[in-house]
Structure 1
Amino acid sequence: MRKKISIWLLAIPFIYACSGNQQQSKKSEKGEEQRQRFLSPPLIRSIYTADPSAHVFDGKIYIYPSHDIDAGTPENDNGEHFAMRDYHVLSMNDINGQVTDHGVALDVKDIPWAKQQLWAPDAAYKNGTYYLYFPAKDKNDIFRIGAATSTNPMGPFKALKEPIEGSYSMDPAVFIDDDENAYMYFGGIWGGQLQRWETDSYEANGSLTDLKQDDAPAISCRVAKLKANMIEFDGPVEKVLLVDSAGKPILGGDHNRRFFEGAWMHKYKGRYYFTYSTGDTHFLAYAIGNSPIGPFTYAGHFMKPVQGWTTHHSIIETEGKWYIFYHDTELSGKTHLRNVKVTELTHNPDGTLKMIDPFKIDSLSN
């Protein structure tokens, strides 16, 4: 979501770096003229939105994105130019339906403990209450994860007076299993500060990245079981074990496979799919396990780089099909002003995920 624009410019082909309102023409290997276009249109154009967490509540699709604004903050590796201040809730009656923006559901000024930067949220429902989970920097500029509640999926949400005890970093994602047990996955390195919590206490002078730990197990996402009240951790925060096919931990130097940010969990045919962003290599990757807390065995990439620095996703099932919600920069061409999208997600017969290319190519030849 955040950082290292210079790396992005070097790493992503020029077709991804162009303005979102342009289309690229090129020659195929057979000499045919081709045009590359975006796979899916933005769901909403009236505001900039990113990090879409989608859920189906009572047969209707609700999307809980972050709300990008141009705050005029210079870009830096801590992602301070992502200066989001509030959350809007979007809804759709069905996957092809009109998108409704229900306005501000929660504002940073109404969160007692928060100072700034309302980054990627998530939502859940249990026992008549809707929960909005969100990261924000506290008064000491340390990311914590808060919770807010409402009796309406559209909000408005009322924030708790304090962040969730024991929480830190960013990108909360809550998964409720078939047995009604709920789990929160969270964390992101670099600007998300996860690397500063490797000793289970905050190290203010911690390294900005994990790039100097190439031969050690990569910094990992965190998972914690939630109590029945959905606003407290039920036990210790654990590190998600992400391993290769031989059962060995993914290493910090393996930037094509290591966890960076943006975790999500979905369950398919009894197996748990832990999906996440690789960050500076710009892929969405997945790993599969037999338990919601892992370990998870790396299985591959399932989405190629979007236009923009990276992507952040969610996955839902509705009307018998699976869909991925994600973002890119089609509308603005600017890394910090994004727009949310949706496209179908396919589980192959062997349980793997079909690769998604966020662009499509049309032949222009006669």
Structure 2
Amino acid sequence: MAIAASSACQQNAKTTSTQTTDTTKKSKYLSQPLISEIYTADPSAHVFDGKIYIYPSHDIESGTPENDNGDHFDMKDYHILSMDSINGKVKDNGVALSVKDIPWAGRQLWAPDVAFKNGTYYLYFPVKDKQDVFRIGVATAKNPVGPFKAEPKPIEGSFSIDPAVFTDTDGTAYMYYGGIWGGQLQRWNNGKYEANRSKTDSQKENEPALNAKVAMLSKNMLRFDGAVKDVVILDENGKPLLTKDHDRRFFEGAWMHKFNGKYYFTYSTGDTHFLASAIGDNPFGPFKYQGTFMNPVEGWTTHHSIIEVKGKWYIFYHDTQLSGKTHLRNVKVTQLTHNADGTIALIEPMKK
């Protein structure tokens, strides 16, 4: 009996210690993961019919060695999440689209986005084709959680990663996209793909940085309507940001939202891990750099989305709280504030 009692006391002590450690770990973070049953990242959030839907990447442990090209981010499908309110219960609606169901796809189903028009939901996704080149495809469904059916070919003229679709108040839709390094944006020059162009020779340090791309979408939402243009970001002197300006220049993870008549182009600086904003007077820009609005999360680059819910603004983002591994992430949400001067208030994802 004495031995059993002693054992029970030791077990209770162990449990208390674990709980204390977990509480301490949780207290480091501004917010907690929305879901822990699967790993999710790159959340594109939208409100459809008063309900919040989140379209994330679905991180898995594929066993692929880690490298700068991101081969270890070897996702196979998408799971769509939904919630009735910001603090409400989150539902995993299961597989909405798999790489095996995309006729032209090879591997790596990266960060998607969704748009809605005329009763149809359009899922835009980047995936490498069978020649290992990232293209952007589109799949459709009548339900916001799918299942989605992919078009037989990628969008003509598309390349790179991270599609983000913004629909303006006049109903015109625009796609912002692009990512350097593993996103292959640096491999495109004058519309031609250069397979041997590495991240290190993408641009000279004192030259204008590579830009994200923007294209107007056709009325049927299935193709580009007009030329693909650069998303030019200007500094305080009206000059383009330079390649060496790693804390401010675009890297990946574009998003667009409109506030008080201004267009907010937000993006990740990638290898320096900041989220930055730039503001313009029209969807094509140019955009004037406004500053950092989120400091680095735990893990690698921050891919985000910003939406308005019942008069308040929120940012959906990810970190690595659950796994501690950069390729196994978890999505989160926290409130976002626009300052009186039009900038976005700084968010600290990690408590000091």
Give the TM-score of the pair, scaled to structure 1: 0.89
| Structure 1 equivalent of residue 5 of structure 2 | none
Q: Which runs of 5+ in 2 are unaligned?
A: 1-20
Partner of 1:318: 309
Q: Shift of the alpha carbon at 1:359? A: 1.7
Which among 252, 256, 261 is matched to residue 261 of structure 1?
A: 252
Relative to structure 1, the CA distance from residue 212 to residue 179 in structure 2 (aligned partners, 3 Å threshold; closer, same or farther) is closer
Structure 1 segments of 4+ aligned residues over 3 angstroms from their partners = 20-24, 209-212
Shift of 1:287: 0.2
Describe the superposition over 1:38-91 as per-residue Cα deviations: whole angstroms up to 9, x where unpaired.
000000000000000000000000000000000000001110000000000000
Alpha-carbon distance, 1:309 to partner? 1.2
Residue 347 of structure 2 corresponds to 356
Cα distance in structure 1, aligned partners of 2:135 and 2:106:
11
What whole-Å deviation, never above 9, does each CA across 1:293-340 have from its counterpart, x for those lacking one? 100000000000000011100000011100000000000000100000
User: Distance in 1 between the 2:263 and 2:201 partners?
Assistant: 27
**Aligned partner of 1:87 among 78, 84, 106:** 78
d(CA) in 1 for partners of 2:236 and 2:47? 33
Whose Rg is larger? 2
Percent of paired sites with the same residue: 70
**Where in structure 1 are there 5+ consecutive unaligned residues?**
1-19, 25-34, 362-366
Residue 360 of structure 1: how far off its partner (Å): 2.3
Among candidates 192, 216, 228, match of residue 207 of structure 2: 216
The answer to whether the aligner puts 1:137 opposite 2:137 as a matched pair is: no
Confirm or deny that 1:341 pairs with 2:328.
Answer: no
Bigger relative contact order, structure 1 or 2 (CA pairs below 8 A, ≥6 apart):
1
Count residues in correspondence. 332
Match of 2:139 in 1: 148
Of residues 143, 159, 163, the one that matches 1:168 is 159
Q: Distance in 2 between matches of 1:36 and 1:226?
A: 43
Q: Distance in 2 between matches of 1:343 and 1:298?
A: 23
Number of the residue aligned with 2:229: 238
Please state which structure has a larger fraction of its residues in helix.
2
Query: Given residue 264 of structure 1, which amino acid in structure 2 is its aligned partner?
Result: W
| Aligned residues of 1:211 and 1:253 also touching (Cα < 8 A) | no
Match of 1:56 among 41, 47, 58: 47
- Say whether 1:288 aligns with 2:279: yes
Match of 2:107 in 1: 116
Q: How does 1:164-203 map to 2 (within 5 A)?
A: 164-203=155-194
Please say if residues 186 and 202 of structure 2, whose CA atoms lie closer than 8 Å, have aligned partners that are also in contact.
Answer: no
Q: Does 1:125 align with 2:116?
A: yes
Shift of the 194–22 alpha-carbon distance from structure 1 to 2, 3 Å rule, reads farther
How does the TM-score come out when normalised to structure 2? 0.92
CA deviation digits over 1:141-178, x for unaligned, max 9?
A: 00000000000001000000000000000000000000
1:359 is paired with a residue of what secondary structure?
Answer: coil
Residue in 1 that maps onto 2:4? none
